[in-house]
Amino acid sequence: MQQRLSAVETLRFQMPYVAFGSRQQTYETLLHSHPESTAPPEQPTASHQPKFFTWVTNNGYGARNASDPAPFSLWDDHVHDFRFPTPEERKWIVDAFRAESVTYSWPDIIIETRFPPNPIPLTVACVAATFIPAGSNWPYLTTNTDYSNPRLPDPLSPHFQLPKWERPSEKQREAVLRALGRLVTVQAVNYIAPIIIVEIALDGRSYSTRSLPGRVGGLLTVYHHSHTPFWPLTCQSRERCITPGTVQDTTNYFLTDLQTLCPEVRVECGLTNRDSGYLDATMASTAGVKLRNTDSGYIRLTVSNHGFINSDEVYHPSSQNGGVCIGHIDERFDALDVALVKLYPSTTFTNGEYFPSPASESPHPFH
């Protein structure tokens, strides 16, 4: 293969590294319960833990991240619940992070600031912390119905109380499914402490406003009833404080001497999301390699799944400013963070040209 020199070579020396947790058991999997449940896969043990992921204490709610600078805790071990800060503690948090606002929405603390700390702690005062840019909004979890009525009786016994800040046991989850099954056709039950979000199956039944119990097992309960499952309903991810590097390769390689695309060229998601709505912002990534399925003969381009998590459209080099839609994603492998792009007939791509990189000592061609 021929290596092509490019000014974008400097990018690989400036790109930050971002650590991701294991994808073998996603956040959704941990909180998601179906009537037909399967045991989650065993988590592998990491060979080392960078400081960002080390903990002073790691005992569930009330854990303290190593980067947590607060000299106090907002978790009360005696009552096994969160507590609101004293005026002095509230002032300490505002001053420490130069916060414009602080929202206490247990189990989270949302800190709005123009000056995020580095490194950003995973907890502040032993509470899961999220730092958002000044003027932005925190994306609260929402459902699409108003079926919940807290005045209706709890379908479970008054003596049956689910733990507020712990994942229910298997027997407790079975009891919840049986109780809800007498009222609705359950698609899934999501335990997101301290509330329950029930997904109702589409079986032709309809429900009137405030017709279902607002508490199940003592916990606040809301309902989701739609063709779109609860988790993909909207982008639930938080806004990140990212300052892009000043060097970005926005070259349209169709217009260069190369006249084709190759691995590592810039690709970007479209503004249309997977539910036919519109996105406020796009994400950029780089192209992988072109693969051929030996059985079907289909040809697909690999891209990072997390770069196109909310859109199936793939553009080069951008979804705006003269960019070209080169194809769409038709298959995803979430656990591998890989998505496959079906290229449009007008799109040309070669694996025979690529950008320079240091020689690898790995015996494997892909790593």
In order, the DSSP letters of 204-219 are S----TT-EESEETTE
Q: Are residues 211 and 119 in the same domain?
A: no
- Residue 8 lies inside a defined structural domain of this protein: no
Q: Are residues 208 and 272 in the same domain?
A: no
- Residue 344 lies inside a defined structural domain of this protein: yes
Mean pLDDT of 117-137: 89
CATH number reported for the structural domain that contains residue 271 in this entry: 2.40.10
Task: For residue 171, give the DSSP letter.
Answer: H
- Which amino acid appears at position 351 of this protein? N
pLDDT confidence bin for 331, thresholds 50/70/90: very high
SS3 (DSSP) at 151? coil
Q: Are residues 53 and 115 in the same domain?
A: yes
SS3 (DSSP) at 307? helix
- Residue 31 lies inside a defined structural domain of this protein: no
Q: Are residues 124 and 164 in the same domain?
A: no
- The residues, any chain, with a CB within 8 Å of residue 141's CB and separated by 6 or more, are 192, 197, 236
Question: Measured between alpha carbons, how far is residue 147 from residues 86, 110, 265 in Å?
Answer: 37, 28, 48
Domain limit, last residue, from 132, 158, 183: 132
Q: Are residues 174 and 253 in the same domain?
A: no
Residue 54 pLDDT > 70, yes or no? yes
Lowest mean pLDDT among 12-16, 44-48, 90-94, 314-318: 12-16
Is the alpha carbon torsion for 362, 41, 167, 200 positive or negative? positive
Question: Measured between alpha carbons, how far is residue 290 from residues 207, 285, 299, 342, 353 in Å?
Answer: 49, 16, 7, 10, 12
Q: Are residues 252 and 326 in the same domain?
A: yes
Structurally, the chain folds into a number of domains equal to 3
- Residue 141 lies inside a defined structural domain of this protein: no
- Residue 41 lies inside a defined structural domain of this protein: no
**In degrees, to the nearest 5, what angle opens at C-alpha 312 toward C-alphas 308 and 316?**
75
Q: Are residues 179 and 211 in the same domain?
A: yes
Domain limit, last residue, from 104, 132, 160: 132
Long-range pairs of 38-44 with CB within 8 A, sequence gap ≥ 24: none
- Residue 81 lies inside a defined structural domain of this protein: yes
Query: Cβ distance 92 to 70 under 8 Å?
Result: yes
> Would the pTM count as exceeding 0.95?
no
196-222 burial code (b ≥16 CB/10 A, e <16)? bbbbbeeeeeeeeeebbbbbbbbbebb
User: What percent of the chain has a predicted confidence (pLDDT) above 70?
Assistant: 77
Chain centre distance of CA 225 = 22
Q: Are residues 127 and 162 in the same domain?
A: no
- Residue 76 lies inside a defined structural domain of this protein: yes
Q: Are residues 125 and 158 in the same domain?
A: no
Strands 219-224 and 195-200: parallel
Question: Measured between alpha carbons, how far is residue 149 from residues 220, 223, 224, 308 in Å?
Answer: 10, 10, 14, 37
Q: Are residues 152 and 128 in the same domain?
A: no
pLDDT confidence bin for 92, thresholds 50/70/90: very high
- Residue 304 lies inside a defined structural domain of this protein: yes
- Closest of 297, 295, 288 to residue 341, by C-alpha: 288
Query: Strands, E, within 63-171: which ranges?
Result: 64-65, 75-76, 81-82, 99-105, 108-113, 123-124, 127-132, 148-149
- The conformational region for residue 171 under phi > 0 = left, psi -120 to 50 = alpha, else beta, is alpha
Q: Are residues 266 and 303 in the same domain?
A: yes
pLDDT for 20 equals: 31
User: What percent of the chain has a predicted confidence (pLDDT) above 90?
Assistant: 48
Residue 81 pLDDT > 80, yes or no? yes
Q: What is the pLDDT of residues 245-288, one digit of tens each?
A: 556 788 899 998 888 999 999 999 988 877 666 777 788 889 99
pLDDT for 22 equals: 35
Residue 322 lies in domain: 248-354
Q: Are residues 57 and 90 in the same domain?
A: yes
